[in-house]
A and B are shown apart, each in its own frame.
Chain A
């Protein structure tokens, strides 16, 4: 109907406007993706290619960066390498061509697993606590509710790193330094204020009539919360979870300060990847590329919940 109409509508954008808007979005997206693209291709460069000047766009791809990321290597004499049985895996071959042999696995995988445990654990806790707190503030008469909410928000009014030293000392006393539990608690504490505020907005928008109807229909408040409120807050919970996860996943400063060994996460680990004669940029890029994947997957999985409008129109206003 609108396709051939020449009448000017105030609500419907014209096809030209739509095309221009689309082009702007695409250009912006492309510009934003250049650094990501650069990291992605650097992961497949050889170390000399990665630091060549002018930078190389066309190069011979190699898995050397990924091999170096996951392994530790030792330099050996060519004679010794000759004496070994033929290489069976790609990484063996690449390493031997550099006159080295694989000595063992690197710390990248355990660090990556630490990141997964700490980021997803703290996200789960922050969202769970945030949802319950937001529901309480939204539905019950809480004494001094506004002051309490402001207090919760005020925990984010300075950069968390400003309290790094007290937290460092506290964690040392409590034995939480370099533990996954310590990092989960810390990221939960930082994220929960954001979660409460975001989710309160979403839950405020869910009409109380649904819970009232459910309670009259024979459900307890908790059952009504699970059966009626949670499904409708799914959009908000998904959005909040993504924000919390991105923060916890990328957090660097506290991770450097509080973890060094068994609980170290990937962000402080990646810059420590040193190759022969300096930074091993392809390995760093490979580590970063892999590091991006979980967030990407998580966001894609929750994408359908991020589309608003699920509850639109079911309650007559």
Chain B
């Protein structure tokens, strides 16, 4: 396993800048998650590290070695593609053995068998080894794709939304499994996802990307509790953080430059109120089973928060809400005021 460092890399496709002057260091043994909407440049970043895309500018280091001009094979990385990319003409076994059979590696067939069987057992596809790769369900294909990465011990694992098409049970199982493998092997992993739970639970650090740029890079707690700007603040949290103009909710000691404040659901206190001190009206109550979303109107401004499922609230009720520890943002969306 090795450290991966990107130094000011850029990649353009025609008029679109997919990755823009990105500098990022993934420490040896670290699990880094890239978060961001579609088109933010996350996948391109992985492809640049893998060497299947060449950077227009900048340098890629793997284990301290400049690999910017090296072929994908020389970089010794593995890549789990979002669209599985299993070799359709091969069986599951041959798919898993394919990286080990590379002429450059020359691993004896007995050892290949051992490693393939072990990985297949771990991913619970042991009974499918003789099937053709095309005769599998989506979840099985994705497990084979993950398995093809895990049969090797590369410098770095690159994973592009590897769990996105699995059902919830398998996804949480594999999430734990991946995290365990990462800790056992001390593996360096760069992982792209949209899923907040995956990002929060697995990442040592999260990089938030937008338009090819790295907006903020920090631990999951830093990203969640101490975002640099409104963009990062809205990446995490369900329901999303409420961004409200200043003055709607009473706060103590707001910084002067603040034009809006961000209030997460756990930063809100809700109390039933009589007409006099009420400042919000219940617009809708959504019961989702494990949680209940409360849609409120602060005058004209809508906001959403979580509420106790058994709270006696109904549409039209008047409530009083208070914000504890809100985050303040300036006119440009940047954080202002005291940082935690």
Which residues from chain A sit less than 8 Å from chain B, CB to CB?
207, 209-210, 212-220, 223, 227-228, 231-232, 310-317
Segment touching A, from B25-33, B76-84, B171-179, B296-304: B76-84
Min C-beta distance of B314 to chain A, whole Å: 44
Within 8 A of A (CB), among B4-62: 47, 50-52
Assess whether B84 is in contact with A314, with CB atoms less than 8 Å apart: yes
Number of interface residues of B (CB under 8 A): 32
**Which chain B residue has the least Cβ–Cβ distance from A316?**
B83
CA gap between A212 and B76 in the complex, in Å: 13
If A213-B79, A216-B72 touch, does A314 touch B52 (CB 8 Å cutoff)?
A: no
What are 20 A-B pairs with beta-carbon distances under 8 A? A212-B81, A212-B85, A213-B81, A213-B148, A214-B87, A214-B98, A215-B71, A216-B52, A216-B72, A216-B78, A216-B79, A218-B103, A219-B104, A223-B102, A227-B98, A231-B89, A232-B88, A311-B134, A315-B88, A316-B83
A214 partner residues in chain B, CB cutoff 8 A: 87, 98
CA–CA, A55 and B79, complex, Å? 71
Q: Which residues of A contact B76 (CB under 8 A)?
A: 218
Which residues on B sit within 8 Å (CB–CB) of A207? 83, 85
Query: With the chains together, A311 CA to B134 CA distance in Å?
Result: 8
Q: Whole-angstrom distance from the CB of B56 to the nearest CB of chain A?
A: 14
Q: Does B133 lie at the interface of the complex (its beta carbon under 8 Å from any beta carbon of A)?
A: yes
Partner of B88, one of A216, A223, A310, A317: A310
How far is the CB of B160 from the nearest CB of chain A, in Å? 10
Q: A216-B50, A216-B77, A219-B73 are in contact. Are A209 and B85 (CB under 8 A)?
A: yes
Whether the Cβ atoms of A215 and B87 lie closer than 8 Å is no
Whole-angstrom distance from the CB of B142 to the nearest CB of chain A? 9
Centre residue among B85, B98, B102, B105 by max chain A CB count within 10 A = B85
Note all chain A residues with C-beta closer than 8 A to B98.
214, 217, 227
Contact status of A217 and B102, CB under 8 A, knowing A232-B88, A314-B86, A314-B134? yes
B259 at the interface (CB under 8 A from A): no
Please name all residues of chain A whose beta carbon is closer than 8 Å to the beta carbon of B103 when the two chains form the complex: 218-219, 223
Interface contact A218-B87, CB-CB below 8 Å: no
CB distance from A307 to the nearest CB of B (A): 14
B residues less than 8 Å from A315 (CB atoms): 83-85, 88
Chain B residues, Cβ within 8 Å of A220: 71, 73
Interface residues of B (CB under 8 A from A): 47, 50-52, 71-73, 76-79, 81-89, 98-99, 102-105, 133-134, 138, 141, 148, 165
Q: Which of A210, A223, A310, A316 has the most B CB atoms < 10 Å from its CB?
A: A316
Q: How far is the CA of A228 from the CA of B161 in the complex (A)?
A: 24
A314 to chain B minimum Cβ distance, whole angstroms, is 4
Alpha-carbon gap, A316 to B136, bound state (A): 12
Given contacts A216-B50, A216-B79, A217-B102, contact A210 B85 (CB under 8 A): yes
Contact B85 A310 (CB under 8 A): no
Contact partners of B78 in chain A: CB under 8 A: 216-217
Chain A neighbourhood of B105, CB < 8 A? 218
In the complex, what residues of A have CB within 8 A of residue B84's CB? 314-316
* B85/A312 in contact, CB under 8 A: no
Q: Are A212 and B72 in contact (CB under 8 A)?
A: yes
Q: In the complex the two chains form, what is the Cα distance from A216 to B98 in whole Å?
A: 11
Known: A209-B81, A314-B133, A316-B138. A215 touches B88 (CB 8 A): no
For residue A221, which residue of chain B has the nearest CB?
A: B71
Return B333 CB to nearest CB of chain A, in Å: 36
Residue among A207, A215, A314, A317 with max Cβ neighbours from chain B (10 Å)? A314
Give the docked Cα–Cα distance between A130 and B165 (Å).
38
Distance of B137 from chain A, by nearest CB (Å): 11
Q: Are B99 and A317 closer than 8 Å at their CB atoms?
A: no
Instruction: Give the distance in Å from the alpha carbon of A213 to the alpha carbon of B96 in the complex.
Output: 12
Instruction: Decide if A218 touches B73 in the complex (CB within 8 Å).
Output: yes
Which residues of chain B are near A218, meaning CB under 8 Å? Answer: 73, 76, 99, 102-105
Please name all residues of chain B whose beta carbon is closer than 8 Å to the beta carbon of A231 when the two chains form the complex: 89
Q: How far is the CA of A214 from the CA of B47 in the complex (A)?
A: 14
